[in-house]
Amino acid sequence: MHVHAHDSPPFLDKNDGRRMAFPPIIIRNTCMTSGNTGSMAGSLPAHSRKITAPACLGKQGFFVTLQLKNRILAPQNRIMGKGKLAKFAEMKEMSNVFEYPFSVVDNVPFTMKGHWRDEYFHNDNPIVLELGCGKGEYTVGLARLYPDVNFIGVDIKGARMWTGAKLAQEQQLPNVAFLRTSIEIIDRFFDRDEVQEIWLTFSDPQMKNVHKRLTSTFFMERYRRFLVDGGLIHLKTDSNFLFTYTRLMVERNGLPTDVCTDDLYHATPEGLMGSPLLTIQTYYESMWIERGLNIRYLRFHLPQADTLAEPDVEIPLDEYRSYHRTKRSSKTTAR
């Protein structure tokens, strides 16, 4: 058995993309069993195969545990692709992008909390967030329509966000910024009363986990930490589950509602007739419309008073998963 350690970059499991925590080694022709460096536990191809395996020193020598199962381990740049790497590198140089994922936020102070207007936008205009902005086309579209409003798109997917950030730069839109972070910690980046409105466009309905649902009372309490009293929240979705859940949550807590429609483009409410908002469609929204799905829209206010309660009603699940665009078996209800 020939074992050789390398000082190469971390490897990823190609099947699930997880970063392996152990150093890569090369196994030649033989496998090791616990504490027996000479045992033939199986066969490998004649050529060397680079894999990742946990290793430690024990009483009987070099102890290695291997589990191949036809998995292929590959360097990170092969899995991510040159295009994504180039986008991530370019985003680091973009003046309209701020990157604070979990791995950074605890170590690098974010000094712009409470100072977005004076330090970045250099005006006193209202601030509107799009949470889960994806490619950012809705954020950019809103910024074009309303040049006297500041818009910030928030998402954790940097390669997607690059599209909107690049477009905003090319169109020289000074009222656009993008924040790459997890929405679970969104309140770390905005101070009390710093934001006037929130857009939630085609969010994952999270039918199995209410605490990850962006319209849950859990997130509403997060939003209250930086949204002005009575600030607006816009929900635009193709998911009947998410729309129904949010409507019931709003009704149970008596939140003021301006617009509520389960068919935005075929039963447009009077208050939205001729609105320029109807002219903005995301890539996925256009796809849902082509598939004949209704687009649902709900606009309500979030006051600061009173603790919010979850709706105590069974809600039928969607027959498909909006976010992943795949069919799913139809189950009955969820909360």
Judged on CB neighbours under 10 Å (0-12, 13-18, 19+), 78 is exposed
Domain spans, the chain? 2-78, 81-334
Q: Using an 8 Å Cβ cutoff, are 155 and 133 in contact?
A: yes
- Beta strands in the chain, from DSSP E residues, in sequence order: 2-5, 11-13, 24-28, 49-52, 55-58, 61-64, 73-75, 97-99, 127-131, 150-155, 176-180, 195-201, 227-237, 257-261, 296-302, 315-316, 320-321, 326-327, 333-334
Which of 2-6, 136-140, 190-194, 299-303 has the weakest average pLDDT? 2-6
Task: Please write the tens of the pLDDT for every residue from 130-180.
Answer: 999 999 999 999 999 999 999 999 999 988 999 999 999 999 999 999 999
- The residue written with tokens 């909107």 in the block is 164
pLDDT for 320: 63
Which tokens belong to 20?
A: 């392996």
Gap between the Cα atoms of 289 and 278, Å rounded: 13
Catalytic residue (choose from 13, 191, 193, 204): 204
Determine whether the annotation assigns residue 282 to a binding site. yes
- Identify the CA nearest to 164 among candidates 283, 80, 279: 283
CATH of 81-334, picked from 3.40.50.720, 3.40.50.300, 3.40.50.150, 3.40.1110.10, is 3.40.50.150
The reply, when asked if residue 284 is annotated as ligand binding, is yes
Q: What is the pLDDT of residue 335?
A: 57
Model pLDDT for residues 233-285, shown as the tens digit of each residue: 999 999 999 999 999 999 999 999 999 999 999 999 988 988 998 999 988 89
Q: Give the pLDDT confidence score for residue 314 in this predicted structure.
A: 95
The torsion angle over the Cα atoms of residues 117, 119, 122 and 127, rounded to 10 degrees, is: -20
| Strand-strand pairing, 127-131 and 61-64 | unpaired
Q: What H or E segment, with its residue span, contains residue 322?
A: none
Element holding 253 (H helix, E strand): none
User: Is 135 known as a binding-site position?
Assistant: no
Res 87: pLDDT: 87
Concerning whether 204 is annotated as a catalytic residue, the answer is: yes
Annotated ligand binding at 258? The verdict is: no
pLDDT at 333 (0 to 100)? 54
208 is in an annotated binding site: yes
Q: What is the pTM of this model?
A: 0.73
Give the tokens for residue 235.
Answer: 């929900």
Joined tokens for residue 330: 């139809």
Q: Is 274 left (phi over 0), alpha (psi -120 to 50) or beta?
A: left
> Quick one: average pLDDT of 5-21?
40
